[in-house]
Structure 1
Amino acid sequence: MIRWYFGFALLVLAFLAGAYITREYFKSAENRVVNETAVVIAEKFTDVMKLVAVEGHFSEIYTYEDYVGWSWFPLRKKALVRVDAKVSAGFDLEFMCLVIDDDSRTVYLSQPPPPSILSIDHNLQYYDISQGAFNVFSASDYNHINAKAKENISIAALSDGTLLKKASLQMYHIIDGLESGLNSIGWNLEFTPMEPALDEFYGPELVSVQRVN
């Protein structure tokens, strides 16, 4: 009988201790103070001539696992990440040339470059992170996961081919609209594989020149 009372008393004490610890935890959570500091520095601005023709949205489930020797919990770190990305594809117009011939009422446009991926905006959501006592995550691990997730999105966007095909089709529609607009005012649009012959032709400059026979 004494043992029964003693066991019951221990059970009650354990329950009260658990209730006290839980209450103190939530109390401390309510009084928690988070300090955050951010310093944003504008380092460099660069002029670009890029045309975004199409955007694609991709989702990825990325699993990262690292261990040495044995895949045993104390020696293993693992993360399950969902990646949502917006991939912009289009054209870099930096080396395109546009020349206007007033005499022949013709606009000469160099062939546009092939489409490419211009930017990838991605967001990572960590669904599960586990790490062992002897193998923990570091800042370099998170940087690696971020870079690898972005690389996987880029590879998927390029291997699929749909994004770049849509970008090419969009460029075709843009040029077709430009040609129709020029024809409506009595001008012509011609493509040429010309290379810039004058300094003022470098870059996507709008230049008016006399016709050279």
Structure 2
Amino acid sequence: MRKILFGAALALVIVFGVRYCEHTKDESEQLRANTALIEKQIKNVGKLIVTEGNYAQVFTYEDSKKFYVDVLSATKKALVVVNAEATIAYDLSKVATEIDELTKTVRITYIPEPELKINPNIEYYDVQQDYLNQFNARDYNIIKSRVQKGLEKEVKNSTLYSNAQNRLISELSKIYFLTNSLGWTLEYNGNAVTDSAPIKL
């Protein structure tokens, strides 16, 4: 009788042991599968996002020089017309992440800064210049610098900038939706990303 009971108990231990090992193996395989899926999603997100916009500026450039103890003056001026194409790009291949399988957490550790490029086409109209004060390279450099600074300010205060950020957040949110569906947590800047606390740049 004792042998029968011992045999039955041993059989139960073996069965439960096998099932526990199978369960642990299944959990480990599922964890690896989820990790691979998250890594694939992060790789898919890693692309270049480019937002484009067109801008125009019109202003008058004027410069005066005085001669002979301010008795004579020579003035030059021109109407400057600018048409520019601006692009804001986020290279998401530079996004850095950490995957913690133990706590089932994905951490976004770095998001690249936006790259702003402005390509202005500058045209000059109604150019007026004196023999003693003619347009030269210095004037064109001053105008170009003024155009660049003015356009940068305009772009950063425009919807182009916010649209680019929204597109960036939309791409990064794909990581959140996947991690959330798998029961993982997404963190950025040390804070958990949730429906009520989305990614903020």
What TM-score range do you get, normalising by the shorter chain?
0.5 to 0.7
Instruction: Pick one of 125, 143, 146 that aligns with 1:145.
Output: 143
Q: 1:116-161 CA deviation, whole Å, 9 max, x = no partner?
A: 5622121112223221111101111111111111111112222x34
Matched, 1:131 2:129: yes
- Structure 1 contact 80–129 (Cα < 8 Å) conserved: yes
Who is 2:79 aligned against? 80
- Structure 2 contact 95–111 (Cα < 8 Å) conserved: yes
- Structure 2 contact 97–107 (Cα < 8 Å) conserved: yes
**3-state SS in 2 of match to 1:75:** strand
CA distance in structure 2 between the aligned counterparts of 1:181 and 1:129, rounded to whole angstroms: 60
Q: Tell me the CA shift for residue 102 of structure 1.
A: 3.7
Who is 1:174 aligned against? 171
Query: How does 1:99-114 map onto structure 2 within 5 Å?
Result: 99-110=98-109, 112=111
How many pairs does the alignment contain?
141
Matched, 1:190 2:186: yes
Q: For residues 98 and 61 of structure 1, do their structure 2 counterparts lie closer, same or farther at Cα, with a shift above 3 Å needed?
A: same
CA distance in structure 2 between the aligned counterparts of 1:61 and 1:76, rounded to whole angstroms: 20
**3-state SS in 2 of match to 1:137:** coil
Relative to the length of structure 1, the TM-score reads 0.53
Q: For residues 164 and 156 of structure 1, do their structure 2 counterparts lie closer, same or farther at Cα, with a shift above 3 Å needed?
A: same
Matched, 1:68 2:73: no
Letter in 2 for 1:67: S
Instruction: Pick one of 152, 155, 159 that aligns with 2:153.
Output: 155
**3-state SS in 1 of match to 2:132:** coil
Higher helix residue share: 2
Q: Tell me the CA shift for residue 109 of structure 1.
A: 1.1
**3-state SS in 2 of match to 1:134:** coil
Q: State percent identity of aligned pairs.
A: 29
User: CA RMSD for the aligned pairs?
Assistant: 3.4
- Structure 1 contact 66–76 (Cα < 8 Å) conserved: yes
Q: For residues 111 and 64 of structure 1, do their structure 2 counterparts lie closer, same or farther at Cα, with a shift above 3 Å needed?
A: same
Letter in 2 for 1:57: N
Q: Which has the higher contact order (CA 8 A, sep 6+)?
A: 1
